[in-house]
Amino acid sequence: NIAIPQDAVWILNKLNEGGHEAYIVGGCVRDSILGRIPQDWDITTSALPEETKTIFDHTFDTGIKHGTITVVLHHENYEVTTYRIDGEYADCRHPDEVSFTKKLNEDLLRRDFTMNAIAYHPKEGFRDPFHGQEDIAAGMIRGVGEPAKRFQEDALRMLRCVRFSAQLGFAIDPETWAALCANTALIQKISAERIREELQKLWLAPFAKKMPLLWESGLLAQIDATLSASLIANSRTLLEEISLCPKDSILRWCIVLQHYPLSEVKGFLRGMRLDNHSIKRISLLLDELSADLPTEPYPLRKKLRTIGQEATEQLLLLQSILRPASPHAETKAALEKILAAGDCLSLKTLALTGQDLMALGAPHGKILGTILAELLDIVLHAPEKNTKETLTTLALALLEKR
């Protein structure tokens, strides 16, 4: 038996009272069996979407076309989906049509892997026609039905397969693996966003030693040949580095892309539809990666001024993973000292403002900026000079020179 939240049980009961079958299903059942904490509780039911909506007070249509209604209970969302049969997949992505069914087994049959095709009801126990529990116990990912056909229906399943392997530490059943390797080219039908989401989950997955399945299968070469070649060439060190890297997608992308041609990183990530903020940060970090951060206070303060505290700290972390022999301890100590002292690192905290300069008789225009930059540079050298009095004296001297 598995423990499910009271609210999920309440939803199952309400559906049952309405004369419908209802089970929790999918990832939450799999994770519960594994003793992992499920992210969300999905429910599968014989009730039609319209029927589900009349049973609960707070619902919204999530994917009504695919039979999914979200039930909101105590500020939590529960996806309640009608038993469904997926029609033909002409495009390897979306079923052309879905039809509803009254048979649980038909709904389980459309799911990707046996471990994801188990239903559970607290009063009935497991409904597991494909022996998913046995595969979970054996640590095995196995396609439901004929694997090649299932990958041809929806090519994303191949990436899910590799990703689950790295998340759970599971092996892939030989027939499923052979089907995956034979169908990798179909991944090109899948949108860049969905590929990127899967890749990102893979970079963050705990069993890094399963990651090479991505390129050993040939799947990565179909996604990006350059990335595939660069990871194949650096596979061994990469896995060690990933294991040392905090679970942070920006940092993990940097580890993965460290050998990618620098000038092509932005284009690659744009193609993957990553958000601009992340693209900027990743390419900045990769740009700066090869030169160790300075250990001396002035150049370190200058670096903090140009790239900011967060990027500096990320850079230090990456450099200490990728080049453990470098003087990172010294840099770290210097950085901590600067941050603890609250040294001025930008115009925002400079003790003299543009307004102050104009009050001293400075002309409007570009010159204000130039003088402020000079004053900031002085303060980056000598933080104790960041007082209004000292900076006023310095500013007057600078103005006189002009």
Residue 111 interacts with ligand ATP (CB under 6 A)? yes
Select 117 or 245, whichever has its Cβ closest to ligand ATP: 117
Contact residues for Mg ion (CB under 5 A)? 27
Q: Which of 121, 157, 281, 305 touches ligand ATP (CB under 6 A)?
A: 157
Give exposure, 275-309, as e/b (b: 16+ Cβ within 10 Å): eeeebebbbbbbebbeebbbbebeebbbbbbebee
Q: Which one of ligand ATP, Mg ion, none interacts with residue 224, CB within 5 to 8 A by kind?
A: none
Select 207 or 298, whichever has its Cβ closest to ligand ATP: 207
Hey, which residues between 10 and 69 contact ligand ATP (CB under 6 A)? 26-27, 39, 42
Q: Which of 154, 173, 224, 288 touches ligand ATP (CB under 6 A)?
A: 154
Supply the minimum distance, in Å, between the C-beta of residue 188 and ligand ATP.
16
Q: Which of 43, 136, 140, 156 touches ligand ATP (CB under 6 A)?
A: 156
Site residue total, ligand ATP (CB under 6 A): 11
Q: Which of 4, 46, 67, 112 touches ligand ATP (CB under 6 A)?
A: 112
Residue 87 interacts with ligand ATP (CB under 6 A)? no
Angle at CA 164, nearest 5°, toward 171 and 33?
85
Which segments of 205-348 does DSSP mark as H helices, in order? 213-216, 219-223, 225-233, 235-244, 249-257, 265-271, 276-288, 297-307, 309-322, 328-341
Dist. CA 119–CA 159, nearest whole Å: 23
Residue whose Cβ sits closest to ligand ATP: 27
47 burial type by CB count under 10 A (0-12 exposed, 13-18 middle, 19+ buried): buried
Q: Is 23 helix (H, G, I), strand (E, B) or coil?
A: strand
Give the DSSP letter string of 147-160. Answer: HHHHHHH-THHHHH
Count of helix runs (H) and strand runs (E) in the chain: 22, 11
Residue 88 interacts with ligand ATP (CB under 6 A)? no
Q: Which one of Mg ion, ligand ATP, none interacts with residue 142, CB within 5 to 8 A by kind?
A: none
Residue 119 interacts with ligand ATP (CB under 6 A)? no
Q: Which one of Mg ion, ligand ATP, none interacts with residue 116, CB within 5 to 8 A by kind?
A: ligand ATP
Dist. CA 147–CA 79, nearest whole Å: 27
Report the DSSP pairing between strands 171-172 and 140-141.
Answer: parallel
Residues binding ligand ATP (CB under 6 A) = 26-27, 39, 42, 111-112, 116-117, 154, 156-157
